[in-house]
Amino acid sequence: MDSLYFFPIKDRHEEKRDCLSTSLSRTQKMVEITQSTIVTPSEETPKRKIWLSNLDVVAARGYTPTIYVYPSTGRKDFFPVDALKAALAKALVVFYPLAGRLNRDPETGRPEIDCTGGGVISFTASLDATLDDFKDFAPSAEMRKKLVPVADSADPPCAMMMLQMTRLRCGGIILGFAIHHYTFDGRGASLFIKTFSAFARGDLETVPTPFFDRTLLRARSPPSISFDHSDYTPNVFQSEAPSSTLSQVVCANLKLTKEQIHSLKILAGGERVSTFRAVVAHVWKCSCIARGLASDAETQLLLPVDLRGRFKPPLAPTYIGNPTMRTKAVAKVEELVSNTLEFGANLIQRAVDNITDEFGRSLIDHLESMDLEALCKRGAMSNTSLMAISWLSVPMYDADFGWGEPILMARAQMYGSGYVYLSRVPAMDGGISVIVGLEPDSMQCFKKILYEEIEEKIL
């Protein structure tokens, strides 16, 4: 075992040895760590350094905590630990950067992925709880502490991934992943989970071929900055909101049926309007009301945009990295609230349409002269802002380890207040999940008007 990166979890008083010391002593009364190991690739993998693009380095530096929930089948051989580790070892041959470490280029200090083959930190745990105890699995700090490994730091040097398999009292299984954001975005994560689960099923025909070369997104020489990228400056990334507000968030996992989504689309301009535009326009409007924002205040909706298909030529669908950038829609609160839903939906469409190949390339060139270390840090957003992330087109539920798809896939914890995630829920027959994080004094009002507004407008 690689003692440089391993920290025995059972001894909570042991001195922290390195950057991978985790905080799994956090709920010892309920969570029992039964095993902790490092899983390495099952075959020799390339030993190389992966250069990170400017878009990678300005991604939020941290581990994305996600959970996959599987109800018990009643069988004794449900999710055997050794078989899961064997499948992970095989998946790490295909996705070998995950078995590496985040380090720095010794000459420039720039972060890079060092493909050492060192392996993934894996924990097996038991939890004295049932699936019913989690209240729709609304993200929270407590849920992350119970179900997902927590590293002391996401700064170099550190691991790229940690995994915890938790067996519940009811027999259910929860897989908790902590994957460093520099590894990949949500689309890349879904490809990895698809690969991992395919090896567990023995279905090798569905294993994709990931594309790891990020030099396609190098800045141009000479640079050509043809747009205003003032949103990508340190003073903008460091929010006006005090850092203490990061803890002042309550989350809800809300469901919208196919019929409710159809109603929102009609209100937003008709069936031609995407689910994302219709639902997010509604969420944006309701959040302004619930937060009690002044009518003359300016509110902004931040929208991450996947650039894979917008670059010319487009990047491969299996491109692994963070080829995303942030755009925004802006309006006065009074305009947004008093107008029809179509007003907000059109603002969203225009903001996204502005993102072209040249805009993306211009941003990369702009970032070349920025302090990327400052840009990768995130503060809490002010209560006039909202960020909406779409997982609607990402096959997040393609995670059948041989026992069926998960009944739920979600973040275990939000970044803070003002974040919204949309994802499909296969069991809802066209319905979706809207996971929202808001200030505690706004959430109850938000949940009430989210559904009331739909019903009133239908009537």
Q: Are 100 and 115 in contact (CB under 8 A)?
A: yes
Spatial distance between the Cα atoms of 165 and 87, rounded to a whole number of angstroms: 14
Cβ neighbors of 202 (< 8 A, separation 6 or more) are none
Spatial distance between the Cα atoms of 22 and 188, rounded to a whole number of angstroms: 25
Classify residue 379 as exposed, middle or buried by CB count within 10 Å of its CB (0-12, 13-18, 19+): middle
Spatial distance between the Cα atoms of 310 and 298, rounded to a whole number of angstroms: 29
Compute the Cα dihedral for 419, 424, 429, 430 and give only its sign.
positive
Compute the Cα dihedral for 61, 63, 65, 70 and give only its sign.
positive
Q: Which of 105, 152, 155, 400 is catalytic?
A: 400
The residue count of the chain comes to 459
Q: Which of 180, 181, 229, 282 is catalytic?
A: 181
Q: Is 155 a catalytic residue?
A: no
Cβ neighbors of 295 (< 8 A, separation 6 or more) are 332, 333, 334, 337
DSSP line for 366-412: HHTTS-HHHHT---PPPTTEEEEEE-TTS-TT---SSS---SEEEES
Catalytic sites, residue numbers: 181, 400
